[in-house]
Every structure is written in structure tokens, then in C-alpha cells.
Structure 1
């Protein structure tokens, strides 16, 4: 039962809580047992607070016993990506230049909503430095690994979040996405990840990347993501961009399927190079949508490569982060040279070049609005390649040496502010997951969830072999930077 309680979907868990056949405390202990067993290999956490989690689980258990849960997520475990601020917990963004001591006085809106709903927050999940990589490793936090094969990466920048969910080390992960950072890790670890419409989930402090970044959930099932969206999709006065609350639950109509929907299938968007095995698995998933009753049309060219405009905007965003944090020469000396160079390039960008990139972004957004006048949804690969090396800045596999961008599909829809998700649709011959990206029209988050639920039901994917992780040769103590952090805050490492 313990393993079941760690991996059980949230809705089934709370049904057991209501029937008093299981408790939030038992669920938490099952999750903590998985963390003790698998996190030494996966390194998905940069902060754990078992004492606070146990207090919260006990309080939730008392509410369920009184028949007064705070929400359908009361007692369900959750984690927070280490780019979102958390009360009493460090938010260091995998950066040595941000001290652990804080003070850490407030929660970001999504974290606050989860606390208010009674979720049991377990800890913070790892990121690359400032989230600026499609793999998750840093000198502060070390290398984060994939539960399907710990030699491989879980992707980035929400790699710790996705690895934790895939390994039963938390039911729901709060994550963020500015250029594919939810969808790439979800695809690489065989879980579900939703990049929400911009403004759908309030955020604060505002991302230094501006309107590229959003908050969204990573979960093992689509319905869990919908439950989470009902909680975190509430407005917050801290965020001037926050949309009004959704008029209906995100669960409403989630089981209606895709029959009659007009879906465009674009294997490359018109510019990307894709691994042939990934391409074949995604094409088969598109045929499954057709078998489920959707009208699927092949659309080879959707857009030109948005990489140049994204590069200009992202570099300016990194420069803005350095401004916000007031980094000087001493702090920059602690950081990855590549990140410092990106910030310098962003700071040197002429204002007219920046405005030109913004104009190109607006034109792309208008183009996609016109596209969705013809199509309800667009589907593409979530990633051009399956998971690659966990400890290398570029894939070592020679097949991918010529790929200018192995993660080309995500960023376009941050630029256009549309909702997009990755849902698992198969495994490569090497046993690594492949995700299908489902893109909806602006504010069409519920439609994306509905389509992904149909795909999930038609193409169920087994989880990774967690027992094998106990014998993996990658177990390690906390990296030196984190050990120092625990010592500074008097928390056992």
C-alpha cells in the first residue's frame, strides 16, 4: 500500500482520505520513503522540509477526519520549482551568488494557493542556474537525473520537478516555462506538463524574462493537472497581468474526447530537425487522434524559426535578472561564464533591435490567432530528440551533432502566449519516453487538457522501473554548495 500511496493519482488519494481508508500522513510517509530511496540517485531536490510537511499532513488528516477538507487537493503532496519564492525556504535559482540566508518572507501566488488548499509542500526542486538550460545541472545543486535511465537528463529547466513526479517523490509539481521548461522535462520523463496561457496563473515577483514565463503543473495524470489548475488559476493582486478566474472547473468536460475537433499535425513546424524515432512515435500518436474521431490535417509549415527573436528577448531578460539582483563583479565571478556572457549580450542589445524582436513576436502571435481560426488544436513533437546525457552541456550522441537546436518546439508558444502541453505517447527502443505537444488557442487551456486526457487514455504509458534506481551507480551526497546551505540554515543535510 505504501508504494501505491506515493504513486496514486490525487483524486484516488482524496477518495481514500474521505473514506478513512488512508490518511495524508500515510501518503506523505510513502512519498518521503521514495525520496529517501531515489533522491540520492536522481538529485531532484535542493531543499526538503520533512518536519513542516509532517505538520501539514497531520493538520490535513484532522480536517479529513472532521469531514472538512479545504479542497480536493487537501493532503496531497506537492513540490515547488526553485525559481518560485517560498516562505521560510531558500529560493537560490541554483546560483551561488544568491545567499541561502534570505530572509524568505513570502510565497509566490501559486505556492500560496496550494497552501490555502491544504496541499502538503515537501520541498524545492532543482533547476539549472537561473533556469537557463535544457538540462538540469549546476555547480550549486549538482546533476539531476532521469528516473527512466539515470545516465540521462530529465530535461530542463524543470528537471527536478519532472524527475520528482515520475519517481513518486511528490504528486504535483509547481513549475515554470519560458521556452519549453515544463514541456521538455515532461516529455523526457514520461509525465504530463502544462504550459498555461499567459496570465492564467498569477505570478509574483514578476519573471525577469517578462511575458515569456508562466507557471504550470507537472503531474503523472492529466486530471491531476486540472485539479491543480482549479487551485492555482485564481487571480492575485500582486500580478497585474493575472486573468479573471476561469468560469468553470478545468475538470468540466475533460472526458469529452476529441471527436469532431479540427487538429493540425506539424511534424517540424516548418523548420525543425527531428530524430526519426521520435518523429515516427509522434506521427503514430497523430493517427491515434484521427482514430478517436478528430479531423487531422498534415501542415508542414506553420512558421519560420522563431529562434532569432527569442534569443534577443531571452538575452535581455537575463540582463534584466542581473539588474534585479544587483549582481556586480564579485557575484558574476561565482556564476557560469556562459550565463554572464548572455547577460552582457542582452545588456548591449540596441533598443531598436529589442523592439524589432518584440514586433516580430507580435506578428507571430497574430499569425497563430489566424491559424486557430482554421484549427482547434495544433500537435507537434514536444522535443526533437529523446533524453540526452545528464552531465553534458550538449548531447554526446553523434546523431545529434548537427542539430542546431534539439528543443525547437517549445519557445514559439511562449512567444505567442498560447497554452501548450506535453503528454507521453510512447517509448523509444532504448526505453526513453517521447512526448506529444498539444497547442491550443489563446486561453484554451481547458481544451488542451481535454485533448490530452483523450490521448492519455488511448496511449497509456507505464512508469519507470523505480526498483532499478536502488542499484544505480550515481548515488551521491548533497553537492558542496547545498551542504553549506543546509548548515547555514541549521537544517540537517
Structure 2
């Protein structure tokens, strides 16, 4: 077993400055800007698959390009805690032979893909960012999301970094060190799926798995300038069961909405190991991917725009970018109205559920092992152990009230749009930005965790940049089971204001 734990210590910033919004056409990728063809590492999964089908590119070439990018950039970014180049090249060669015969095996055959180090992966260690995880296996089983990807021919290149047990909205851990943002190495890519976000943003594979218990897909998607969706709870099966219970979702992360929809199609569906998994959905996300008319996707939709979700503080640059996104939807024929669902404050109740989950996840550790944990994680475990069953039931009662309120809200509005995060990326290695020093990560995640409480689908898509060149994310929230509608709106915005050609 080859486990690589890269600790990035550089503070060099590599951000590209730019204004919110975007042009009407794709900006050139790095290679195109030099007058050459784009590197296969800079192509989307859909572009790779089309090139394979046309015989213009081999999965071997694509995987080689991604592995070269990882070798070049991972020492600075620390997005991967494990890379298996020999296995990836072997899988790519097998894929290339299938494509040569005209018999690809599944919807992602030959696409370089990374797996968050939370998801079980057969033959590879799953350490969950923790020095307390057993390192000797056995590693005999795939989680449902990994199994679906493997069945569809995805080529796994490695496992991505996560904070210990995915407990916070940034990515650093005692095991793997600090993960950094490709747009500015001094900043965090967010978390807990920060390694996946950094990998995708930097061209180290177009697809990655993520988990989201309080924003852990949407926060890093926003900070890192990519797309990610927290699906309706149960749409993507989860095994082993998360100690954070029904707050925890699994979902796709990608550079484009089309790739996000494609990956969600692949990983959705029933798995008997998840006792609360939804039935396999009918096909429908493909329609989102095939559409090229943004107006057709959202015309007539009733969209509520809540700039502060009931009074949250929002950085002015973030607010301007999100307001500009709302105007784009209006220009496409949607009926956009400033409206707020009036959700009750739920921070304390979220803490009861989240901190109790952390305590449950670590209940079998020895005192010596507890001393090795991230100090912040130790702190929430200690608080989680003080809660009673009555506290837990009270928190669950608020969840039910929030779910009912959002259900009624969506009888009037097809979608809700908000900032994905109230701030852009801040200093790597910190749990919260300096002005919130000493506060838990939830103090700045008020746009994300409420929709884990309600189990609704919620996505983040890039909608602009700060003056310092850091990405800004737009959150699109839909009623439960309206995942295709959420991604349709994201696709419309992507068509109207393309971002995928702009790279860190």
C-alpha cells in the first residue's frame, strides 16, 4: 500500500483577479491560451467521452495527463492523500481496449475520477483523515457510490483529503496536513470535501465524490469555483451508515453542470445496504445535460431570491455576484422575486445533531487515541457527550418544522437561490476566518446546514469572482425530489454565464 500524505507549506498565492459574472463564451483553458490544444486534463468528462467515441483520444492519454497534473501540483495543493498511478494506468489501458472494440463498459468508461477518503474503496485504505483509523484493513468492499462508479468504468486515480471524520467546513487534519485552494494557495478550498474540490478545480480529474452533512459539498464547490450538488437525502445510497445520521448526503463534484448531472445519474439508485435508500429514479438528468437553450430550462419558473436567508451577514462582493446571478435568471424568462422562507434559527439544534454524531463516531476510541484527534473535533465531541435524548428529540422536532415550512414555501416557488457561502475562501489552516476567530465553522455556514436539516437538494455553481480573484458560489435549492429541476437551473446559468474555461 502506498499512502502519500503531502503537507503543503507554501504561502504563495496563485489567484487570478477578475470581476463577478462572466462572458458570453468559454474562456480558453491554459493550453488553448498558449495557442495549442487543451490538455486532456482540462477536458470535462463529457468531452472526454465524446473524444473516446470519435477515436480522437485514448483513456490512456487522459489518465496520463491527469497523473502528470497530480504529480506536478499535488505537492502544493495536498488534494490527494493516496495516489495509485499503476492501477490507474492499468484500468485506463483496459478501457482503451474496450473503446477500440466499440464496447465501452458503462457511462463513464475511462473517465479519471477521485474518491473522497470517507468512501470505502475496495483494495484501498479508507482512513477518513484520522490517525486513529486502522491502517491494516481489510479493504474488501466498495461503498455504494464507488461501486456504481466502478461498474460504469470510471478510472480511479486516488483518494482525496478530508478533515478528520469530515467534521468541519475546511480541510486540514493531523493525518494529511493542510489542503490548499488552487485559486490562491494561501487560502482553504473549503471542506469537508476540500480535497475533491481542489482536485477538480486544478484539473486533477474531472469528477470526484463528496459528502455533505452541513455544506461539505457546497462550501468547497463555492470556494474552489466548481459545481457540486447535495442531492435529496436517500437518492444516493450511503453505506456504512453515517454517524451523523440523516444529515449526511453523498453527491458528485465536477467542473461543469453537465458532468455533475452525468455523475449523479450514475451514482443514484437503490442499494440494499442502505436501509433508507430511495428506489432507483427514472431517467431524466440526461435531458438537463442535452439542453443548449438556457431560456428553455428556466422560462416561467418561479424563483425566490433570498440575499441573506433571514439576516445573515454577507460580504459585499459575494452579495453583488449573487444579485447579478438573480438578474441573469430574470433575463432568461424566470419570474424572480425577492422572498425569504422565514426559517427559524437552527444553529443550536444543528449542533446537537452534529456534535452527538461526532461523539458516536468516536465512542470506541481509547483515551490515548482521543488525545491524537484534531483539537476542534475533541471539543465538539466533549460537548456532544453532554446532550440528552430529550435534546436530540427537540432538535429533530425543529427539523420537522423546518421541513414543513420549506414544503409550503415551495408550493409558491419552484426554486430558492441564495449565496452558497457568505464569504469567499479565507486563510488555509483556520477553522473560521480571522474576524470569527474562536468560532466554530458553523458560524459562517448558515446558508448551507439548514438544507441538511430539511434534506432538500441544493447545489453550488460559480457565479463570479471577488476582486482578489477568488470564486463566488450561487446556491440553488429545490423541494425534495426536484434534483433535476435544481440542475436544470444550474445548467441554464452555466449556458448563460460560462465559467469552466477559466482556470486557477
Q: Same fold (TM over 0.5)?
A: yes
Q: Which has the higher contact order (CA 8 A, sep 6+)?
A: 2
Instruction: Spell out the pairing of 1:467-478 with structure 2 (5 A cutoff).
Output: none
CA distance, structure 1, for counterparts of residue 475 and residue 383 of structure 2: 31
Distance 1:270 1:188 in 2: 22
Q: Determine the C-alpha separation between the residues in 2 that align with 1:293 and 1:400.
A: 44
1:91 matched to which residue of 2?
126
Distance 1:336 1:402, change over 3 A: closer
The 1-side partners of 2:396 and 2:56 are apart by: 54
CA distance in 2, matches of 1:458, 1:406: 29
- Tell me which residue corresponds to 1:16: 51
The answer on whether the counterparts of 2:256 and 2:500 sit within 8 Å (CA) in structure 1 is no
CA deviations on 1:48-80 (whole Å, 9 max, x unpaired) are: 111111111111111101111112310001101
Q: What TM-score comes out, normalization by structure 1 length?
A: 0.91
What is the alpha-carbon distance in structure 2 between the residues aligned to residue 451 and residue 170 of structure 1? 25
Whole-angstrom CA distance in 2 between matches of 1:327 and 1:419:
34
CA contact (8 A) 2:344 2:402 kept: no
Tell me the CA shift for residue 93 of structure 1.
1.2
Pairing 1:278–2:318 present: yes
Q: Which residue of 2 aligns with 1:308?
A: 348
Number of the residue aligned with 1:338: 376
Cα drift, residue 310 of structure 1: 0.4
Per the alignment, residue 307 of structure 2 pairs with 267
Q: Does 1:33 align with 2:33?
A: no
1:186 has 2:224 as partner: no
**Gap change, CA 1:52 and 1:265, over 3 Å in 2:** same
Within a 5 Å distance, the mapping from 1:222-261 to structure 2 comes to 222-254=257-289, 255=291, 256-261=296-301
Corresponding position: 1:433 with 2:468: no
Residue 422 of structure 1 is aligned with which of 460, 467, 470?
Answer: 460
The answer to whether the 8 Å contact 1:45/1:124 transfers is yes
The equivalent residue for 2:169 is 134
What is the rounded CA distance, in whole Å, between the counterparts of 1:400 and 1:21 in structure 2? 53
CA contact (8 A) 2:288 2:491 kept: no
C-alpha distance in 1 between matches for 2:71 and 2:219: 26
**Conserved? CA contact 1:271–1:304, under 8 Å:** no
Secondary structure of 1:156 counterpart? coil
Q: Over aligned residue pairs, what C-alpha RMSD do you find? A: 1.8
Choose 50-59 or 392-401, whichever is displaced more.
392-401
Out of 351, 358, 361, the position equivalent to 1:318 is 358
Say if 1:425 and 1:460, in contact at 8 Å, map to a contact too: no
Residue by residue over 1:131-153, the C-alpha shift from the partner in whole angstroms, topping out at 9 and shown as x without a partner, is: 11221111210111111111111
- Cα distance per residue 1:326-346 (max 9 Å; x no partner): 112121011123212312222
Q: Is contact 1:426–1:459 with CA below 8 Å preserved after alignment?
A: no
Which of 105, 115, 127 in structure 1 is aligned with 2:150? 115
Whole-angstrom distance in 2 between the partners of 1:397 and 1:346: 26
Q: Which runs of 5 or more structure 2 residues have no equivalent in the other structure?
A: 1-35
* Structure 1 unaligned residues grouped into runs of 5+: 467-493
Instruction: Output the CA distance in 1 between the equivalents of 2:361 and 2:500.
Output: 40
Q: Deviations over 1:208-262 (max 9, x none)?
A: 1000001101100001011111110121111111111111131124534210000
Q: Does 1:292 align with 2:332?
A: yes
Aligned pairs for 1:475-490 within 5 A: none
1:410, distance to aligned residue in structure 2 (A): 0.6
Picking from 103, 116, 134, the partner of 1:81 is 116
Residue 392 of structure 1 deviates from its aligned partner by: 2.1
Change (3 A) 1:66 1:205: same
- The alpha carbon displacement at 1:171 in A equals 1.1
Structure 1 residues 36 and 183, CA gap change in structure 2 (3 angstroms) = same
Q: For residues 277 and 393 of structure 2, what CA distance do their matches in structure 1 show?
A: 24
Which consecutive aligned stretches of 4+ in structure 1 deviate over 3 angstroms post-superposition? 397-404, 462-466
Classify 1:463/1:145 alpha carbon distance in 2 versus 1 (closer, same or farther; 3 Å). farther
Look up the SS of the partner of 1:251 in the other structure.
helix
Output the CA distance in 1 between the equivalents of 2:441 and 2:71: 37
Q: How does 1:366-405 map to 2 (within 5 A)?
A: 366-396=404-434, 405=443
Query: 1:136·1:154 contact (CA, 8 Å) conserved in 2?
Result: yes
Matches of 1:186 and 1:346 in 2, distance apart? 28
After TM superposition, the structure 1 stretch with the greater mean CA deviation from structure 2, 259-268 or 335-344, is: 335-344
Match of 1:365 among 380, 391, 403: 403
